[in-house]
Chains A and B, each alone.
Chain A
Amino acid sequence: MTEQLDAGLVAERIAESDQLSAPSGDREIGRARRRKEDARLVTGRTTWTDNIQLPGMLYVTFLRSPMAHARITRVDTSAARARPGVVAALSGRDLADEQGSLPCAWPVTEDIVIPDHPPMAVEEVRYVGEAVACVVATDRYAAADALEEIEVDYEPLEAVVDMTEALTEGSPKVHETGNRAFTWRFAQGDVGAAFRDAPIVVERDYVQQRLIPTAMEPRAVVATTDGDSFTLYSATQIPHVLRVMLAMTTGIPEHRLRVVAPDVGGGFGSKLQVTAEEVLALLLTRRIGRPVKWTESRSEGNLTVHHGRDQLQRIRLAAERDGRLRAVQVELLADMGAYLMLVTPGVPLLGAFMYNGIYKMDAYDFTCTGVFTTKMPTDAYRGAGRPEATFAIERAMDELAHELGLDPVEVRRRNWIAHEEFPYTTVCGLTYDSGNYEAATDRALDLFGYDTLREEQARRRAEGDPIQLGIGVSTFTEMCGLAPSRVLGSLSYGAGGWEHASVRVLPTGKVEVVTGTSPHGQGHETAWSQIASDALGVPFEDVSVLHGDTAISHKGMDTYGSRSLVVGGIAVLSACEKVKDRARELAAHMLEASAEDVEFADGSFRVRGTSQGRTIQEVALAAFAAHDLPDGVEPGLDAETTFDPDNFSFPHGTHLCAVEVDTETGGTTIRSYVAVDDVGAVVNPLIVEGQVHGGIAQGIGQALFEEAIYDAEGNLLTTTMADYLVPTALDLPEFVTDRTETPATSNPLGVKGVGEAGTIASTPAVVNAVVDALRPYGVRDVRMPCTPERVWRAINSGTSGASGVSEASEGSHGSGAPQSSQGSRASEGFEGGGR
């Protein structure tokens, strides 16, 4: 439409950000190493689960419910069993005695309702796509054809698709116990007092639409047994957690169960799960005695990979006339779907301490109710809870600025924690260890050309240009690096948040790092090699990283929540330090010096003040030979560490987005996007850059493109990628990225998590920009995704774009909450936010 950011300028800015990350001296940390795992990943010369072929392998296909809610009255698999190539055809009834219940590891309240969740439905189906039967056959084709021969009779029950309606008296019930799973509350300070005489109150309702994670690699499972022990290969993020949970679920003793995550093609939280298919594959191989494989299709995945987000949010801000916040109050309804899966109820809690964002205030109140519906269960999706929180507070801060006639950056400045106030304990009780919001914001404004764009915006508004310019601001932080085990315990989570690493220097001086993290695209092999290389003074190429197999890495908590570097990476560093201490002792013995007099630099131990030394490789060989070890020193050069962090990690940043909205068609084009992130010290700037780019793209997906839509009968309408729109590079602008570096004080590397930051920051930046473009039309909100049709309707009705034929009608607020004194409400009421 109008000019794009000049390509030369983009290159210049990228070059600038490279300079920032230039390594000091020969250090590996800070170097933009190309990822050592990429050649095999991008050429496919690797083992994805679906590549695995075992002798005698059978193929599983699942028959899935076409009904959102129904009683199963009959399943007849006899015709399927009679078909050629079919080894077994089973219903839920056939497996009922051995299949157990899929686990929920996060009972967030004492009185939470955790319904029985059979991997294959026996009596009743509660969402479209729930498995009701399966065929096991000698090839995929025979299995798919036989599936159509299975007859199932259903007695339809009423679907429950709208959370608000689900909580009303007389609503059909998803489970006999009712549709409320739990209500969880957290409050600090005197919120009532803060709101009572507040000069300004802004109250807004937002809809976090349901999302489908859409990892590039579909899920796949292979299970095999020798009759005694079992091995499960799965495209999972969590081989270690999975092993424990499967042992508890299936009764296979933990020591007889090995779980392998081969190379895994992305997860975004969707593979942080104990799935029905994983359990059933184990049961089938146990029953049949032959290896079985299941690989989902994309449309099957859209139905049955756990979904993300799906919350109705009400946020209220109480503020002074100068824009300073007094308090924030949040009420959430969170759609659990039909069952509680691994961390389903905990997802909103991960956001519960984040609705205050980077701002200072005196009081805070958060309430969340988890609601059952007859839809696919929700669970973790990139950011899990924190994107929702950041969206609500950052959208509401823009609304506050608008109410006060202040610039949205200025209203943030008046509220954020100043650089000199760190470490800062927030109203939620979290201690943000470090940050510099001023520096990141100033840099972003500069790169963005904020003032110039504001001038252009004013000009276009004055001229009535059909293409309007909007500017969106998002200043975010998030809690990641999950997590201090004690904190998880206080939130009733079923496990700890530590991480394990072991490091061994082999006789030839090469190094193996075994990590309990489980990479699925993040580049751990490269980053862990850089950490070990610096710590041990060995070449980067001399380090191998082993992971993703419980028989190799016996102990771990896996990868999610931007935890791998800040927990797992620190464990690697710590194990390296232990190795070095052991090597120092042996080197001192070899040099006939005392350990205190031996210093380590550039891979060699030297007696201080002399040229006498031994390389770490020489020490490793001596440790292997063990011919002359000091008393009490064990042969070999290896060590391990289990690291439990004291605090979360708090990356932050400022993202600015400029959009052009075509007011005639409703189409939105992102014109420029600037992200200045502060993720502390950086191990590999190239990997950080990739995480930021991918994260921003995924957050833009939520803002403009993606939505899982169920109809009133509970049918998912977005089962293909023609209907569930995921943006590609063709739909996205060049991102201008930069960093400020405020080292974390909570770990020795000074690093912070980066895996989710881009996704958390970008969604509100984009929606704020869209709404900003439409302010002259009286628009205060556009529901996500801001589709052209919604934007067009918003322009033509001056509301949220929700009045369309296919949209929920306006609802009134029924809970008796006081109306806002200043901010008028978004047109879409809390009650009307369903779909």
Chain B
Amino acid sequence: MIPAPFEYVRAGSLDEACRVLAEAEEAGEDVKVLAGGQSLLPLLRLRLAYLSALVDVGRLAELRGVEDRGDHVFVGALTTHDEVLRSEVVRELVPLLALATATVADPAVRHRGTFGGSLAHADPAGDLPAVALALDCVFVVRSDEGEREIPASDFFVDYLESALEPGEVLVGVRVPKLGPGWGFHYEKFHRTAQSWATVGVAAAVRLGEGVVEEARIALTNMGPTPVRARAVETALRGVPLGSSDGERLRQVCDLADEGASPPADLHGDPAYRRHLARVLTRRAVVTAGA
């Protein structure tokens, strides 16, 4: 559990971090940004990854904090999971984020691990990517050449691969408030309290007179990236919740795994994961609509 040698740079400012990253890119070096280290350091310690340098942004206060910005909440990339959980703004205005964050690992990890680090790591088994996808979050990133925005639908490229270019740092994420009438739930199925989701479902549902008017559903660990379950979103429109007609909801939610390509691992094969996605989507929708 000893990583291979690497250079370590503690950035004093975001500009400095960007500059160091740009220089490293120019030199063809393999550099990564270090935030809470809860995902990256295990990879290094197990020697599953070899890097020439780490740029530690951990002390950059400018990347930290939660802010209500009218139609969205801006969450700084360095905000820890614990800070997200304790934020009144998050709990009141973007509760799906709080619901999902509460299921992340354990208190020790939540105190060190960061919101942005978890998203930039782009692990489809992480809980937050599905939330970002379901809510159509916007990722704000900075490099030596300036700032740009990446919609969540473009951010998750492949397994552990995001749309961040070498030299770019995730500054924060705009989390849209969906407005009145929406209910939320994150349904996570995992084998122990501290293990990753076998499958997770992030759901936002807007009801009108007991009938679904609009739904946003995204799935955790159902493919190399988080998966937006568009088919079930469309089919849910007009479906009554909480009535005696549970069969219709069941049929609709059987579309949940459409377009997913779930992995096979020790905790479930693809067929089981597809089944779980359907069951958990139904439960998530019912709870979100309750």
Q: Mark B173-203, 1 if CB is under 8 A from A, else 0.
A: 0000000000000000101111110100000
Known: A299-B1, A299-B46. A789 touches B267 (CB 8 A): yes
Least CB distance, A45 to chain B, in whole angstroms? 21
Least CB distance, B262 to chain A, in whole angstroms? 12
Contact A709 B2 (CB under 8 A): no
Contact A731 B192 (CB under 8 A): yes
Contact B1 A664 (CB under 8 A): no
When the two chains form the complex, which single residue of B193, B198, B268, B280 contacts A730, counting CB atoms closer than 8 Å?
Answer: B193
Q: Does B272 contact A (CB under 8 A)?
A: yes
Contact B267 A728 (CB under 8 A): no
Least CB distance, A214 to chain B, in whole angstroms? 13
Question: What residues on A are CB-neighbors of B47 within 8 Å?
Answer: 148
Contact A730 B194 (CB under 8 A): yes
Contact A725 B195 (CB under 8 A): yes
Contact A718 B191 (CB under 8 A): no
Query: What is the CA–CA distance of A522 and B181 in the complex, to the nearest angstrom?
Result: 57
Most chain A CB within a 10 A radius of its CB, from B106, B264, B272, B276: B272
Question: What residues on B are CB-neighbors of A314 within 8 Å?
Answer: none
20 cross-chain CB contacts under 8 A: A144-B2, A145-B2, A145-B4, A148-B4, A297-B1, A665-B280, A705-B192, A717-B266, A720-B46, A723-B266, A726-B192, A730-B106, A730-B193, A731-B192, A788-B191, A789-B268, A792-B272, A793-B272, A804-B272, A805-B264
Q: Does B28 contact A (CB under 8 A)?
A: no
Question: What residues on A are CB-neighbors of B280 within 8 Å?
Answer: 665
Chain B, range 256-271, C-beta contacts under 8 Å to A: 264, 266-269, 271
Contact B46 A730 (CB under 8 A): no
Nearest 6 interchain pairs by C-beta: A730-B193, A297-B1, A144-B2, A664-B279, A805-B269, A789-B272
Question: What residues on B are CB-neighbors of A709 within 8 Å?
Answer: 266
Chain A, range 701-730, C-beta contacts under 8 Å to B: 705, 709, 717-718, 720, 722-723, 725-728, 730
Query: What is the CA–CA distance of A788 and B264 in the complex, to the nearest angstrom?
Result: 14
Q: Does A413 contact B (CB under 8 A)?
A: no
Least CB distance, A463 to chain B, in whole angstroms? 15
Most chain A CB within a 10 A radius of its CB, from B106, B276, B280: B276
Q: Does B69 contact A (CB under 8 A)?
A: no
Chain B, range 265-290, C-beta contacts under 8 Å to A: 266-269, 271-272, 275-276, 279-280
Least CB distance, B124 to chain A, in whole angstroms? 15
Interface of B is mostly: loop
Question: What residues on A are CB-neighbors of B193 within 8 Å?
Answer: 728, 730-731
Least CB distance, A286 to chain B, in whole angstroms? 26
When the two chains form the complex, which single residue of A299, A717, A725 contacts B191, counting CB atoms closer than 8 Å?
Answer: A725
Query: What is the CA–CA distance of A666 and B269 in the complex, to the nearest angstrom?
Result: 14
Contact B267 A730 (CB under 8 A): no
Contact B198 A788 (CB under 8 A): yes
Contact A665 B276 (CB under 8 A): yes
Known: A722-B195, A725-B192. A806 touches B2 (CB 8 A): no
A-B interface pairs (CB < 8 A), number? 64
Contact B191 A722 (CB under 8 A): no
Known: A144-B2, A665-B279, A717-B266. A805 touches B271 (CB 8 A): yes
Question: What residues on A are CB-neighbors of B272 within 8 Å?
Answer: 666, 789, 792-793, 804
Q: Which residues of B contact A (CB under 8 A)?
A: 1-2, 4-5, 46-47, 106, 189, 191-196, 198, 264, 266-269, 271-272, 275-276, 279-280
Least CB distance, A243 to chain B, in whole angstroms? 30
Question: What residues on B are CB-neighbors of A787 within 8 Å?
Answer: 191, 267
Query: What is the CA–CA distance of A728 and B194 in the complex, to the nearest angstrom?
Result: 8
Additional A-B contacts beyond A788-B189, A789-B267 (14; CB < 8 A): A665-B276, A665-B279, A667-B189, A720-B46, A722-B196, A723-B266, A725-B195, A787-B267, A788-B198, A789-B269, A789-B272, A792-B272, A804-B272, A806-B264
Least CB distance, B110 to chain A, in whole angstroms? 14
Query: What is the CA–CA distance of A731 and B195 in the complex, to the nearest angstrom?
Result: 11
Question: What residues on A are CB-neighbors of B194 within 8 Å?
Answer: 728, 730
Query: What is the CA–CA distance of A717 and B264 in the complex, to the nearest angstrom?
Result: 13
Query: What is the CA–CA distance of A300 and B280 in the complex, to the nearest angstrom?
Result: 36
Query: What is the CA–CA distance of A141 and B275 in the complex, to the nearest angstrom?
Result: 46
Question: What residues on A are CB-neighbors of B269 within 8 Å?
Answer: 789, 804-806
Query: What is the CA–CA distance of A787 and B279 in the complex, to the nearest angstrom?
Result: 17
Query: What is the CA–CA distance of A443 and B177 in the complex, to the nearest angstrom?
Result: 56
Query: What is the CA–CA distance of A514 and B196 in the complex, to the nearest angstrom?
Result: 47
Q: Does A140 contact B (CB under 8 A)?
A: yes
Query: What is the CA–CA distance of A300 and B45 in the complex, to the nearest angstrom?
Result: 12
Q: Does A298 contact B (CB under 8 A)?
A: yes
Most chain A CB within a 10 A radius of its CB, from B5, B106, B266, B268: B266
- With CB as the reference atom, state the residue of chain B lying closest to A144: B2
Question: What residues on A are CB-neighbors of B191 within 8 Å?
Answer: 705, 725, 787-788
Least CB distance, A663 to chain B, in whole angstroms? 10
Chain A, range 142-189, C-beta contacts under 8 Å to B: 144-145, 148
Question: What residues on B are CB-neighbors of A806 within 8 Å?
Answer: 264, 269
Q: Mark A778-799, 1 if CB is under 8 A from B, else 0.
A: 0000000001110011000000
Least CB distance, B186 to chain A, in whole angstroms? 16
Question: What residues on B are CB-neighbors of A664 within 8 Å?
Answer: 279
Query: What is the CA–CA distance of A147 and B280 in the complex, to the nearest angstrom?
Result: 46
Question: What residues on A are CB-neighbors of B264 within 8 Å?
Answer: 805-806
Q: Mark A655-679, 1 if CB is under 8 A from B, else 0.
A: 0000000001111000000000000
- With CB as the reference atom, state the residue of chain B lying closest to A723: B266
- With CB as the reference atom, state the residue of chain A lying closest to B268: A789
Question: What residues on B are CB-neighbors of A793 within 8 Å?
Answer: 272
Query: What is the CA–CA distance of A718 and B267 in the complex, to the nearest angstrom?
Result: 11
Query: What is the CA–CA distance of A667 and B187 in the complex, to the nearest angstrom?
Result: 14
Least CB distance, A33 to chain B, in whole angstroms? 31
Query: What is the CA–CA distance of A143 and B194 in the complex, to the nearest angstrom?
Result: 33
Query: What is the CA–CA distance of A361 and B1 in the complex, to the nearest angstrom?
Result: 53
Question: What residues on B are CB-neighbors of A789 within 8 Å?
Answer: 267-269, 272
Query: What is the CA–CA distance of A811 and B264 in the complex, to the nearest angstrom?
Result: 24
Question: What residues on B are CB-neighbors of A705 within 8 Å?
Answer: 191-192
- With CB as the reference atom, state the residue of chain B lying closest to A727: B192
Question: What residues on A are CB-neighbors of B267 within 8 Å?
Answer: 787, 789
Least CB distance, B38 to chain A, in whole angstroms? 12
When the two chains form the complex, which single residue of B1, B4, B275 contacts A298, counting CB atoms closer than 8 Å?
Answer: B1
Question: What residues on B are CB-neighbors of A731 within 8 Å?
Answer: 192-193
When the two chains form the complex, which single residue of A141, A298, A726 contacts B2, counting CB atoms closer than 8 Å?
Answer: A141
Question: What residues on B are CB-neighbors of A665 within 8 Å?
Answer: 189, 276, 279-280
Contact B266 A718 (CB under 8 A): yes
Least CB distance, B247 to chain A, in whole angstroms? 14
Contact B192 A145 (CB under 8 A): no
Contact B1 A728 (CB under 8 A): no
Contact B196 A145 (CB under 8 A): no
Query: What is the CA–CA distance of A804 and B273 in the complex, to the nearest angstrom?
Result: 13
Question: What residues on B are CB-neighbors of A804 within 8 Å?
Answer: 269, 272
Question: What residues on A are CB-neighbors of B196 within 8 Å?
Answer: 722
Known: A789-B269, A789-B272, A792-B275. A730 touches B2 (CB 8 A): no
- With CB as the reference atom, state the residue of chain B lying closest to A805: B269
Question: What residues on A are CB-neighbors of B192 within 8 Å?
Answer: 705, 725-728, 730-731
- With CB as the reference atom, state the residue of chain A lying closest to B279: A664
- With CB as the reference atom, state the residue of chain B lying closest to A298: B1
Query: What is the CA–CA distance of A462 and B98 in the complex, to the nearest angstrom?
Result: 39
Query: What is the CA–CA distance of A834 and B194 in the complex, to the nearest angstrom?
Result: 29
Query: What is the CA–CA distance of A731 and B189 in the complex, to the nearest angstrom?
Result: 13
